[in-house]
Amino acid sequence: MALTQVSANRCAGGFQKVFEHDSAELRCRMRFAVYLPPKAETDKCPVMYWLSGLTCTEQNFITKAGSQLAAAEHGIIIVAPDTSPRGCNIEGEDESWDFGTGAGFYVDATQEPWKTNYRMYSYVTEELPKLINANFPTDPDRMSVCGHSMGGHGALICALKNPGKYKAVSAFAPICNPVQCPWGQKAFSGYLGSDRSTWEAYDATILAASYSGPQLDVLIDQGRDDQFLSASQLLPDNLIAVCSEKKIPVVFRLQPGYDHSYFFIYSFINEHIKHHAKYLNA
């Protein structure tokens, strides 16, 4: 698959780049960002995939999170895809900020008219890693996943559904139990249909209850003043309870004074990258 470079900026000794390509899974033109640390000029590097939240493109993370310095320090490539297909001319795709464009929820849709294009789960777990490994100096055996909000949900389910594939996982304010919250119920009913049993394949809390793979050390940061925490959209307590029961190690940090914004992510991204580096560079 041919890549078209959209931009390239020198950053923290490496390069922050954006590319376009034609996605076979999503059947549209897609963009992703890739940060190449200085080490990538001479060696193969591990990859951390960053999954963004509702309404985001690949730009939010690379311009607001301040991840490049830590990525350069630890020699980690960071790949940040868009959050949904765009411009597919699906009726209703632009009507709502939390469904359709910018809100792929990292599922493979099974319902019309979404199922042809809205296959973000397969895109981020299969198509995109193959594309990255074919075009950049990566070590395919060293990859991890991290994300925020809807993307935190995405990161958790990618790790839980693919035991051993990701060396590390972390999340900022993830949607932990989407079958129980308004955001998840809206997205899942639209993309997956009315049979709630099919939703369970994309719910981190439910997946954790049946997880039996290699040990996952999960890091989750949550702002105590996050408006979506108080609105019962995120439900981290449900996931923590299941992980405790299943003896899945979770470091859950409730950060006083922080909200749901990228100011929160910027404040702790270095610690998350350090968490990933511990496993990616082991």
CA dihedral (200, 205, 210, 215) in degrees, to 10, reads 140
Q: What is the residue whose two structure tokens read 């995109």?
A: 128
Candidates 67, 144, 149, 170; catalytic one: 149
Q: What angle do CA 177, 194, 229 make, to 5 degrees?
A: 25
DSSP letters spanning 69-109: HHHHHHT-EEEEE-SS------TTTTSBTTBBTTB-TT-B-
CA dihedral (121, 126, 129, 131) in degrees, to 10, reads -110
Residue 26 token pair: 């999503």
Candidates 226, 267, 272, 275; catalytic one: 226
3-state SS, residue 159: helix
* 170 a catalytic residue: no
Residue 139 token pair: 């070590």
* 148 a catalytic residue: no
Residue 19 token pair: 């590319």
Decide: residue 63, CB within 10 A, 0-12 exposed, 13-18 middle, 19+ buried. Answer: exposed
* 149 a catalytic residue: yes
Candidates 74, 148, 260, 276; catalytic one: 260
How far from each other are the two terminal CA atoms of the chain, in whole angstroms? Answer: 31
Query: Which residue stretches of the chain are H helix?
Result: 58-64, 68-74, 120-122, 128-135, 150-161, 182-192, 204-209, 227-230, 236-246, 262-280
Q: What is the residue whose two structure tokens read 């290699």?
A: 214
Which residues participate in catalysis according to the annotation? 149, 226, 260
